Structure 1
């Protein structure tokens, strides 16, 4: 489906039932409506005796080359009480993928309004929000994750604990809707926020989101190995897998097709038989083209994985290191970027996370976690997931086999993703080269991992 079709999905839904964004005719209408109803953005309200989360839809389109002015227009709707002269705007990226703007409300203590200022910062290194390689197979998305020092410095004249003084505006990149269902993304954020696992969603607009920040720093190839951190990750993922359940009857996990199959098939459909760039096409011929050969190979792999009996859970499905936020002061981790969240195999979510230990900026698969580390990680995970202190060695081994075999599917999944990006993305990144990296790792591990036996711990 094209980008415009996805945008229409928002404008056609005018009810808040089922957590669909509410549509208003104009920014002024929205501000008046929110004020008259006493509703704060991202909060709940009573509708027909039941509690609903109201997420306003603002019918504006923010141009990628004019995101600051677009953010100002959005704020007049969702933060009408803010004086724009007292808002500092920080542009955290300046690429051709998703754009992230931080809006920091700093009202003067002396009652004298300041001049609002705009800061362009495309090389900010405190978190992954500006390092696009950390989200390279996440559409170059900007997580909205700012470090606590960033928030403190930008909100120095306000109560730093008030998240209402910070609004993050994310503008979608060109043609990212080919890969991501934006309506589903919005619903995922709303769902996970209800479980305390995602930031508040303040509003949606035609080509983006406005939401709360997540304080902390994203993981890297070193921090992900620290026991005080990886145990938090294992616990948080187990909690997500165990408790999160979409409220819609259409999302019954017993009748829901796993994301791994349906999304990979949709990706296959998007890979062209002939690439526009002749050089790219030549590099892809033989190994990846014609795509029918890879379709058959994946179908065979999937049939085997399906037989392993991995539970179907609501999964993140893209738990790369840049999507895990560690907040040291609170001793917590949070996950960000829920574009691919959906029901899927438990073992895929973990196997994909383990595969991401290699990093993306400088991929090194010698960092893939060793068996001893995995067994310890998986035991902690199972204790939380099964809610029991004593987990048997057989239970841990079973999950170990499932996870490593499903990690093969993760390599396959992102390989096909790369082929689509190679055709459509304008980002200065060698997607063809990265496709080879992921596919070669799949081939290198395939025989060893598929030889693992659930019934044998040797």
Structure 2
């Protein structure tokens, strides 16, 4: 995915970032007197932030150190609280679930570089890799992250709807039915919020670029927790399934192909592995119920990321057609709604 950068290369690193890198290097016993020794490589596929791999040689030159530098995108404060995200990042790291936080600067942070391969779009549909992702998701959902454990998705969407209304042109407001979307959110909340549903700590953005695999050990690492919060686990599974329609490393990264959405057998297999991963074999009825719940939560996913796309189009300068992306997510919402809602407005 081609990205327009802010000219962030080794020759013009912010002084604050240079200080952080020198501090990290010193902690590792390296000397970083010559910034010309740095190698800066932009990593593709990011849609909110700009991400770079920064390398430098050790003192004896035998080893190359690697860190990941994340430069925060414009307008991201509308989507999540950065301080809360950092606290989540540190908590997850302490639980051995992701990279370590090495340092922060005003426009971003420095993270441990994970020596693993970031998944590709086809990997999500690979039965072997998918069978590794499912238990890792279950493990992630069982994390005990400090703070309120209330479902966040509905209030977050309402907040985003308010932001979208403030930002949008009249044409976009009309096209995306923003004046009536509050009613759609309330309907979904009323019909999907069942007392029996399981709530866990959800990633909420389980696209392939946020999942890494160590191909020697087959260990899966989930990264990037900007949108992470407590939510129904069915919502997170639905998000992961919806992301199978995306490939952000093409000439048209915004285009979604819903023919790649997993079929019934694939969804059942994933859910059965997910439920089995804690040691208790689920019944067929339990598997079917969660598969059914996940399908309903795809509607919430489409509204969530549709609103994200609309707002991003007005605040983010990354080279990505956010409006067309939003258009596709809303199209899927209206397309799938009749199949999942009965005539009375209740889910089938």
* TM-score under structure 1 length normalisation: 0.66
Query: Aligned pair 1:337/2:224, yes or no?
Result: yes
Q: Quick check: 1:96–1:426 contact (8 Å CA) kept in 2?
A: no
Cα offset for 1:441? 0.8
- CA radius of gyration, larger in: 1
C-alpha contact (below 8 Å) 1:78/1:203 kept by paired residues: yes
CA contact (8 A) 1:401 1:449 kept: no
Q: Which residue of 2 aligns with 1:292?
A: 179
Of 98, 107, 124 in structure 2, the residue corresponding to residue 207 of structure 1 is 107
Contact 2:154 2:185 in 1 (8 A): no
Deviation at 1:288, TM superposition (A): 1.7
The answer to whether the 8 A contact 2:167-2:314 is kept is: no
SS at structure 2 position matched to 1:421:
helix
SS in 2 for 1:78: helix
Seen in structure 2, the aligned counterparts of structure 1 residues 107 and 425 have a Cα distance that, compared at 3 Å, is: closer
2:245 to 337, 358, 376: 358
- Report how far residue 220 of structure 1 moved: 2.8
User: 2:206 matched to which residue of 1?
Assistant: 319
More divergent stretch after superposition (313-322 vs 263-272): 263-272
Match of 1:383 among 237, 254, 276: 276
3-state SS in 2 of match to 1:222: helix
Asked whether the equivalents of residues 202 and 233 of structure 2 are also in contact (C-alpha less than 8 Å), the reply is yes
Would you say 1:90 and 2:40 are equivalent positions? Answer: yes
Deviations 1:158-215 (A, max 9, x none): 1x7xxxx322221212222222211111111111112211101111222211110122
Contact 2:167-2:311 at 8 Å conserved across structures: no
Please state how far the C-alpha of 1:298 moved relative to its aligned partner: 1.2
Match of 1:246 in 2: 145
Q: Which residue of 2 aligns with 1:227?
A: 127
Number of residue equivalences = 324
User: How has the CA–CA distance of structure 1 residues 399 and 415 changed in structure 2, closer, same or farther, with 3 Å as cutoff?
Assistant: same
Structure 1: tracts of 5 or more residues without a match: 1-62, 114-156, 452-457
Classify 1:274/1:351 alpha carbon distance in 2 versus 1 (closer, same or farther; 3 Å). Answer: closer
For 2:340 and 2:114, locate their aligned partners in 1 and report how far apart those are by CA, in whole Å.
36
Tell me if the contact between 1:96 and 1:174 (Cα under 8 Å) persists in the aligned partners: no
Question: How far off is 1:274 after superposition?
Answer: 6.2
Residue 262 of structure 1 is matched in structure 2 by: 155
CA contact (8 A) 1:324 1:334 kept: yes
Q: Is the 8 A contact 1:101 1:170 kept in 2?
A: yes
Q: Taking structure 2 as the reference length, what is the TM-score of the superposition?
A: 0.85
1:284-318 Cα distance to aligned partner (Å, 9 max, x none): 243324x2301111111111011273211011011
Stretches of structure 2 lacking an aligned partner (at least 5 in a row)? 248-252, 343-347
